[in-house]
Chains A and B, each alone.
Chain A
Amino acid sequence: MSIRESTNDVSNLDLDTPDKTYLDSNELIINMGPQHPATHGVLRVILKLDGERVLGTECVIGYLHRGVEKIAENRTYTMFNPYVDRMDYVAAVSNGLGYCEAVEKLLNVEAPARAQYIRVILTELNRIASHQLWLGTHALDIGAMTPLFYTFRDREEILKIFERYCGARLTTHAFRIGGCQYETYAGFEKDVNNFLTFFAPKIDEYETLLTTNRIWLERTKNVGVISGEDAIALGVTGPVLRASGVKWDLRKAQPYAAYSKFDFEIPIGENGDTYDRYLVRMAEMRQSMRIIEQAVNSIPEGPIMGKVPKVIKPPVGEIYHSIEAPKGELGYFIVSDGSTQPYRLRVRPPSLVNLQALDIMVRGLLVADVVAVIGTIDIVLGEVDR
C-alpha cells in the first residue's frame, strides 16, 4: 500500500503492532510543547507516533501551577475571591460566580434578585467572550486566520462593558460574596442591548467563513470523535459532552443564580467530532444572547448585596457547588472549620478533566489533527494547572 492511499484509512492499521504498518517503521516519540503556539499555553504532549499516525499521547502539565488551593487556605474568604479569576482567565466572571455562590451556600445566604440578574448577564457575556476566543484561536490553529481578527474585534465590545462595569477587562473580580460590589452604571442596559444587536449578525459572519468551508469541514469532520459513553466515563463536561449527544447543562439540570427564570435551549451534537463541537459552541453563543436579552430587559429593582457579615465566617461544614462554566462543570468543594479562612478549598476544573480525554480522541489520527483536537477541547492552562 502506498503512503498516498493509506492516509485516511485506519482500518488496515494495526495499532498494537506498529511495526507491521505501511512504513514498517519503529515508533517515534516526539515532544510537542510546552512552548508551542498550538497548545494554548504551556501544555506538553508527548506523542507516540508511527509515521504521521498517533499511537498514543501523554500530557505533561503543571507548568502554570501556582498552588491556588494552598493559597486559599492562607487567605480569608474575601481575600481569595480575586484569585479565582486567575484560573480560567478568559472566563474570569464565571469563576467568580462559582466561588461566590459556593461561599454563599456555605453561609446559607442568597444574593438578592437584582444581583442575580446582573450576575447572569455578565456571566453570559463572558461565555460569549470565552467562546469567541476559543473560535479565533481554534480556527487559527487549523489554518483559518480571518476568524481570529473577527472574534477579537467583537470580543472587545464585551470587554468594554466589563471595563465600564467594574474597571477591569479580563480578571474582573466582578462579584462579591453575597451579591455584587457595583451597581450597574448609567447606560448599562443600553450598552448590553447595543451589543446584542451588534453581535447577532457577527455570528452569522463567523459561520459564513467556516460552517460550509471545505477546508474547515475536511479538518474537523470525524476528527477527534468521542462517544457519549466515553465522555461520561471520562467525566467530560460542557460543550464537549453536549457535542457527543448528551443533553446536560447545569444551568438546566440544577439551576443556580437566576437561570431558572429564563427560556433557553441546550444545543447538542450527534457525532461528537470536532465539527459538532464547533456547531454546539456557535449555537451556545446564540442561546447566551437569548438569556442576556431576557435578563437585561427585566432586571428587578432592589439591593445588590445580601445580608452578609463584614467578616465572613461560615459555620463548620462542607459544601460542593458547581456551575456551568464555558468549558464545563466548574465546582468548588469548600471545608470550613468555622474560621475566617477556608480549611480546605478544592477547585474542580473542567479544563483538567476534559484534557484527560485528549488521548482517546487523538489515537489513530494524524499529528496535524492533534492541534485541532487540543483546540476543540478548549482548555485554558491556567485552570488545568491552577
Chain B
Amino acid sequence: MPEDVKSPAPPPPPEGEPKPTAEKPAAAAPAAPAKPAAPAKPAGPVPVPWTSPLVEKYRSQYGSGLEAQTYLGQNYLTVDRALIPDILRLLRDEEQFDYCVDVTAVHYPKREKQFDVVWILYSFPRNERMRVKTQIADGASIPSCVSIWATANWLEREVYDMFGIKFDGHPDLKRILLPDGWKGHPLRKDYGILQQDQEWVQINLGIESGQ
C-alpha cells in the first residue's frame, strides 16, 4: 500500500534554493582571502592542562614522560615513545580502557619526529574517552598493541599501509587496503597524487595524463 503514504500533492524538492548555493561558492571564493585579515579572528580555544586522578597517578610514576591536556573537552595524553607499551597496557588493565576505538597517525613532514601515532580509547565502565599520542621519527617502529586490544590488528595494518609505520610484534603486518605491490604510502604528505596519476596513465594507457 505505498499509495497511502504519498502526500496528495508532493511538493517538488526546493528548486529555488540550489541555485543561490551554486552561486555562493563563486561569490565567496574571491571574498575569502580578504576576510581573515579584516576581523582579526580570535585564535580559538587552546588546550588546557588536564588534571585527574589518572593523570596524577601516571605523572608520579613516569614523571616528565607524559603530558596531559584537554582540548574542547576532549582529553589526551602525549607520551614518550619509550613509555607507550607500558602506558597502554596500564590504561587497559588498571583504568578499564577496555575498548580501543581507533589507531591512526598524522604526518608532519617538517618536524624532526615526523609522525604522531594516535590511539583513541574508550572505557565502558567509566563511559570516558581519551586519546594517547606519541611522536616517532620516520623509519622508526613502534610496539604493536595487538596483544592488548585484538582490534588493533587491522587498524595497525592500515597505519602501516598508509604511512609506512612499522609495528613491532604485529602478527601479520602487511598492506590491507592497497595491493601488495603498491609503491609508497599515500597518506604521507610527501606522496604526490599527480605523479602517481601520470605514471599510471603512461604505463597503462600510453598517453600523457591530462591532470
The finding on whether chains A and B are genuine partners in a shared complex, rather than unrelated, reads yes
Number of residues of chain A lying within 8 A (CB) of chain B: 66
Contact with B along A299-330 (1 / 0, CB 8 A): 00000000001110111111110100000010
Contacts of B186 in A (CB 8 A): 67, 70
Contact A235 B100 (CB under 8 A): yes
Max chain A CB contacts within 10 Å: which of B10, B131, B154, B162? B154
Minimum CB distance partner of B9 in chain A = A187
Known: A61-B176, A167-B18, A253-B127. A317 touches B47 (CB 8 A): yes
B121 to chain A minimum Cβ distance, whole angstroms, is 10
Shortest A356–chain B CB gap in Å is 5
Taking the nearest CB of chain B, how far is it from the CB of A195, in angstroms? 6
Q: Which one of B57-65, B145-153, B200-208 contacts A?
A: B145-153
Q: Which B91-133 residues sit within 8 Å CB-CB of chain A?
A: 98-102, 104, 106-107, 118, 120, 124, 127, 129, 131
Task: Give chain A residues whose Cβ lies under 8 Å from the Cβ of B102.
Answer: 320, 331, 333, 346, 348
Interface residues in B, total, Cβ within 8 A: 59
C-alpha spacing A232/B120, complex, angstroms: 14
| The one of A185, A194, A319, A348 that contacts B5, using a Cβ cutoff of 8 Å | A194
Binds B, one of A26-34, A92-100, A155-163, A269-277: A155-163
A94 to B5, CA, bound (A): 24
> Which residues 1-56 of B sit at the A interface, judged by CB distance below 8 A?
1-2, 4-7, 10-11, 13-14, 17-18, 21, 24-25, 28, 31-32, 35-36, 41, 43-45, 47
Contact A187 B177 (CB under 8 A): no
Residues in A29-80 with C-beta less than 8 Å from chain B: 61-62, 65, 67, 69-70, 74, 78
Are B101 and A322 interface neighbours, CB within 8 A?
yes
Q: Within 8 Å of chain B (Cβ to Cβ): is A181?
A: yes
Partner of A315, one of B35, B43, B106: B43
Contact B99 A187 (CB under 8 A): no
A-B contact count (CB 8 A): 146
Are A74 and B5 closer than 8 Å at their CB atoms? Answer: no
In the assembled complex, how far is the CB of residue A42 from the closest CB belonging to chain B, in whole angstroms?
Answer: 12
A62 touches B131 (CB 8 A): no
B179 adjacent to chain A (CB < 8 Å): yes
Whether A385 touches B177, Cβ cut-off 8 Å, given contacts A232-B98, A335-B106, is yes
B14 close to A185 (CB less than 8 A): yes
The answer, among B99, B104, B175, B193, for a CB contact under 8 Å with A235, is B99
Interchain CB contact under 8 A, B2 and A156: yes
From the candidates B14, B25, B120, B191, name the one contacting A348 in the complex (CB within 8 A).
Answer: B120
Q: Is the CB of B129 within 8 A of A320?
A: yes
Closest 5 CB pairs of A and B: A315-B44, A235-B151, A62-B177, A167-B13, A348-B102
Q: Which chain A residues have a beta carbon within 8 Å of chain B's beta carbons?
A: 61-62, 65, 67, 69-70, 74, 78, 105-106, 108, 153, 156-157, 160, 163-167, 181-183, 185-187, 190-191, 194-195, 198, 232-236, 246, 248, 253-254, 309-311, 313-320, 322, 329, 331, 333, 335, 340, 343-344, 346, 348, 352-353, 356, 385-386
B residues with CB within 8 A of A:
1-2, 4-7, 10-11, 13-14, 17-18, 21, 24-25, 28, 31-32, 35-36, 41, 43-45, 47, 71-72, 74, 98-102, 104, 106-107, 118, 120, 124, 127, 129, 131, 149-151, 153-155, 158, 162, 175-179, 186-187, 191, 193
18 contacts between A and B (CB under 8 A): A67-B186, A70-B187, A156-B2, A157-B2, A167-B13, A182-B14, A185-B14, A194-B5, A232-B99, A235-B149, A246-B124, A311-B28, A313-B36, A315-B43, A318-B71, A320-B131, A331-B101, A385-B177
